[in-house]
Amino acid sequence: MSAAPSDTPPSPVTTTDRGAVRVITVNRPDKLNALNAATLDALHEAFDAAAAAPSVRVVVLTGAGAKAFVAGADIAEMNGLTPVQGRDFSLRGQRMMRRVEKMPKPVIAMVNGFALGGGMELAMCCHLRIAADSAKLGQPEINLGLIPGFGGTQRLLRLAGRAATLELCLVGAPIDAARARELGIVNRVVASDELEAETMKLAEQLANAAPLALRGMLDCINVGGECGIEEGLEYESAQFGLMFSTDDMREGTGAFLERRKPVFSGA
């Protein structure tokens, strides 16, 4: 007798480990991976788990299907919200994206299609972004009578500057990956059929780097982006000094002097 079909809906977020790289996938391809409340919560949990897993050194974030990274927030869910519920939804998304931004391990957005609205905001909170040449990015909330609510006005301003942010938000028209690269919104653009291979190549390179040094760099850059230069420099010096207490620093400098490839343990 065959088993009865399950009524349990598929998880909105899936995870797969490829060595020391954890791939987190927004898994709503029928909705172009739109971000509803359940998906935001599932992403937050997935990044908490990745941060806590000693075997995971790098995270790659992408969307299921061939069309979209994340096409935006879930408009059907937003349509009936009250002002208070709308603010709560914004805060929910911001908390999740702040969690990604403050990850102690590098997070790479693999932008495989549309990254619009909440999808562009999700890509921007990652540490690095690699986009397929067919990808489209934008903040089209103006066309819905809305503004970006998951940090888009703030992160886009820091990545692309005031003029580009004003144009992208006020006009609401998407841009192609090449233009996003010119503006500093994405780090690299590659052919669509090479996107996964190129992203994993970078992820594996980072996975072989010194984990504590990576974390120290992420911390310094996060702190420096939100404070004055004197405070940022002081924090950098403190983090630099801490590296001298690590086995990885001894291994890295020793390997350099011995002309061999270092093997970092994360200790």
Is residue 228 packed enough to be buried (19+ CB in 10 Å), middle (13-18) or exposed (0-12)? exposed
Residue among 107, 104, 122 at smallest CA distance from 219? 104
141 in catalytic set:
yes
Of 121, 167, 198, 251, which is the active-site residue? Answer: 121
Distance CA 191, CA 193 (A): 6
Q: Cβ distance 190 to 171 under 8 Å?
A: no
> Any idea which residue has 């010096």 for tokens?
237
> Any idea which residue has 């495989």 for tokens?
112
> Any idea which residue has 């890509």 for tokens?
123
Distance in angstroms between the alpha carbons of the first and the last residue of the chain: 53
Of 141, 231, 234, 258, which is the active-site residue? Answer: 141
What does the block give as tokens for 142?
């103006």
Please identify every residue annotated as catalytic. 121, 141
